[in-house]
């Protein structure tokens, strides 16, 4: 009797029903779709990271070029003007001729810009490219006076701030950086002692 029951149970497990096959196919499809969405999100993060790195390298190279200039030449040739859009780097320029270099949650007061049409050599905006027609953008230059409270006077040093934007036309062009990459350095007059 037990042998007959065992044989009958074993015969019922010989194959899969159509419903079991459909459930298995749906589970595999859901798993594949989840995998593709994870891979796409990962690709987007890697692309954004690459754009940040390239923009930071462009900014660092430009800062090094500016630091090699004579101190008197580190000035803008023309005064930039305020932009209404908060996504534009020129949004932080005040009508009074100052620039808000600290754009954090509790920013420090804006500093007066250094503009010298005669001795200054820095243009406000220029474009850059990675040379492969994949990534490019703009470099916004700002030079402001720095006041050291321990030194008499108000124009003790210059702060050079660069805002590097990325405007690519290659893969992932729709996902440009939301904010520019900021690079800043303070330059002290070597003749000031």
Neighbours of 62 (CB within 10 A): 19
Among candidates 176, 163, 168, which has minimal Cα distance to 59? 163
What per-residue confidence (pLDDT) applies to 18? Answer: 82
- Give the residue carrying structure tokens 């406000």: 124
pLDDT surpassing 70 at residue 1: no
Tell me what the pLDDT averaged over the chain comes to: 83
Of all residues in the chain, the percent with pLDDT exceeding 90 is 33
Please state the rounded mean pLDDT for residues 135-142: 91
pLDDT at 17 over 90: no
Q: Reply yes or no on whether the pLDDT at 151 is more than 90.
A: no
pTM attached to this predicted model? 0.76
Alpha-carbon distance of 52 to 146, in angstroms, equals 28
| Confidence at 160, pLDDT banded by 50, 70, 90 | very high
| pLDDT tens digits along 80-109 | 998 888 888 988 888 888 888 777 777 777
**Are residues 109 and 96 in contact, defined by beta-carbon separation less than 8 angstroms?**
no
Q: Count the neighbouring beta carbons within 10 Å of the beta carbon of residue 57.
A: 14
């Amino acid at each position: 009797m037990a042998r007959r029951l065992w044989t009958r149970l074993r015969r019922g497990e010989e194959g899969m029903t159509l419903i079991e096959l459909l459930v298995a196919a749906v589970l595999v499809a859901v798993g594949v779709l989840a995998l593709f969405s994870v891979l796409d999100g990962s690709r987007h993060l890697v692309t954004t990271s690459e754009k940040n790195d390239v923009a930071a390298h462009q900014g660092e190279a430009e800062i090094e070029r500016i630091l090699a200039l004579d101190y008197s030449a580190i000035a803008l040739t023309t005064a930039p003007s305020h932009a209404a859009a908060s996504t534009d780097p020129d949004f932080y320029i005040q009508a009074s001729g100052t620039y808000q270099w600290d754009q954090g949650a509790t920013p420090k007061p804006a500093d007066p810009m250094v503009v010298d049409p005669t001795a200054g050599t820095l243009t406000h905006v220029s474009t850059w490219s990675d040379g492969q027609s994949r990534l490019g953008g703009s470099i916004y230059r700002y030079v402001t006076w720095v006041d050291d409270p321990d030194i008499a006077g108000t124009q003790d040093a210059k702060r050079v701030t660069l805002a590097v934007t990325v405007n690519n036309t290659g893969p992932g062009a729709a996902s440009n950086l939301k904010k520019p990459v900021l690079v800043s350095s303070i330059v002290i007059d070597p003749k000031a002692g």
